[in-house]
Amino acid sequence: MYEAYPDLKGQGEGVHEGAACYSNPKIVDILADWIVGCGQLPGVTEVDVWLTENLVQKPGCQCVRCRTQNRDLLEVRAVIDAWKKAKKTIPNVGLRVLTSEETADSNEQIIAMLPPEVKVWYYHSLLTYNNREMEIIPSYCEQSAKQGRVIGVVADLGVKGQLVQPFTSAHFIRYRMNEFADKNIASLMGYPRPRLYYCDFNTEATAEWSWNAKGRTTHEFALSWAMRQGLDDPELFAQWAETIGPVAWDVYGCEWPFGEKRRSLKTVTQQLKEGTLPELGEVFWELYPKPWGDIKSVRQLNQDVTNAAKAVKLAQKMGLARYHEESRVIYGYINSLKALYELKQVVKPERIAEENRTAAGIYFQNYVDSLRQVQQAVIKWEQAVGPWPGHPSIAGKTKVFLNPLIEDMISTAAEFDYQLN
């Protein structure tokens, strides 16, 4: 667009290179053309317009017309005008507008500006792409939905982050769908990462409770799912799903291990050495739960370890590699957190007390072994699920991602004179 219309590029010092000038009437013409183009496709009745996602704290256009205005509202005004213009060509085309973290501070004003028939997608990469046990629909969306506007949400059904992670948790999905139903959320754009059929259980669970939020229990749903899959022992599967579901939700709700990817945050080994690992249940800036923000107590942590071990045994009994390897992934992750938590108790900056040296050695090794177990199991899990025809295997990315976590802990242990295997 900027090649054809360079004057639409945001102007001024320090402006994000992708930012557009929304005061220039030409942008309304272009957006209207796009809405008409999409809206004329067969079967299309409404068009989603996604607002700018993230300008990384840089300003929008600073031209004389833009700089005194709220950038988000200028953009929305252009979208509304473009939609009205598009309706001159296709009078019945509907509009949906998707919010973002860039527009978050203006969302209430945006919703107030939009004509009542315009539908809204609430999206925020940190708050709706999320596995935490917390409500994610803000009160202004709930109010607007209860006043009759169609409000939708864009939410993770799989695990946040771009890694292959098995996640069978009816508990997580039931919780999310109940929040949405209670708050009159009318539509859902679900993200079953990393591939739909890697996430089939959670996706069906989404259909289950978005349709009937107060209906079946997690156990009843798992049982019905196993029967439809033709598993030999549906009740055994349901027991397994009941056991693994809450543990997996705790692990991923803590953004473990994906949170280690955020370069803006210290790694857990840095925090361990500095003595700055948070307490259980702490969420940094209320946004970053790594490593154990969704695990509120030692009791919960220990219960998770016990249940993960139990899930491994139940999966062995089922005799299906897919669920066995998945259980080993979750067991590996929760054990790595348990080891890290125990290390936090004994590793002090620059020293480990003599009486704690044996325990520390065991937990350093446990941490490393647990993540190595995940590396093996996640690859086997993907193989057991089966390759997606025509697409390469992707679990290797998870294995590669975990390498530096393992190496960091090995070198941290070495600083305290432990030689790990």
Residues contacting residue 48 through CB under 8 Å, at least 6 positions apart: 96, 97, 98, 121
Distance, in Å, from the CA atom of 137 to the CA atom of 177, rounded to the nearest integer, reads: 11
Distance, in Å, from the CA atom of 4 to the CA atom of 296, rounded to the nearest integer, reads: 54
Q: Taking the complex as a whole, how short is the minimal distance between the CB of residue 130 and Zn ion, in angstroms?
A: 33
**Which of 30, 38, 63, 309 forms a contact with Zn ion (CB under 5 A)?**
63
Of 74, 60, 59, whose CA–CA distance to 27 is shortest?
A: 74
- Write each residue from 13 to 42 as x if it is in contact with Zn ion (CB under 5 A), else as -, in one continuous string: --------x-x-------------------
Residue 66 or 82 having the CB closest to Zn ion: 66
Q: Taking the complex as a whole, how short is the minimal distance between the CB of residue 12 and Zn ion, in angstroms?
A: 8
Residue 83 burial (CB count, 10 A): 24
Residue 74 or 238 having the CB closest to Zn ion: 74
CB contact at 8 A, 291 and 337: yes
CB contact at 8 A, 191 and 158: yes
Stretch that binds Zn ion, among 62-70, 316-324, 332-340, 388-396 (CB under 5 A): 62-70
Q: Taking the complex as a whole, how short is the minimal distance between the CB of residue 189 and Zn ion, in angstroms?
A: 30
Identity of the residue numbered 367:
Y
Name the strand (E) or helix (H) holding 369. helix 357-385
Residue 61 or 254 having the CB closest to Zn ion: 61
Positions 135 through 174 that interact with Zn ion (CB under 5 A): none
φ/ψ (deg, to 5) at 314:
-60, -40
Q: Taking the complex as a whole, how short is the minimal distance between the CB of residue 60 and Zn ion, in angstroms?
A: 8
Stretch that binds Zn ion, among 58-66, 94-102, 120-128, 348-356 (CB under 5 A): 58-66
Chain centroid to Cα 49, Å, comes to 22
Is residue 66 close enough to count as binding Zn ion by CB under 5 A? yes
Task: Please tell me whether residue 120 adopts helix, strand or coil conformation.
Answer: strand
Is residue 61 close enough to count as binding Zn ion by CB under 5 A? yes
By CB under 5 A, how many residues form the interface with Zn ion? 5
Is residue 78 close enough to count as binding Zn ion by CB under 5 A? no
| Binding positions for Zn ion, rule: CB under 5 A | 21, 23, 61, 63, 66
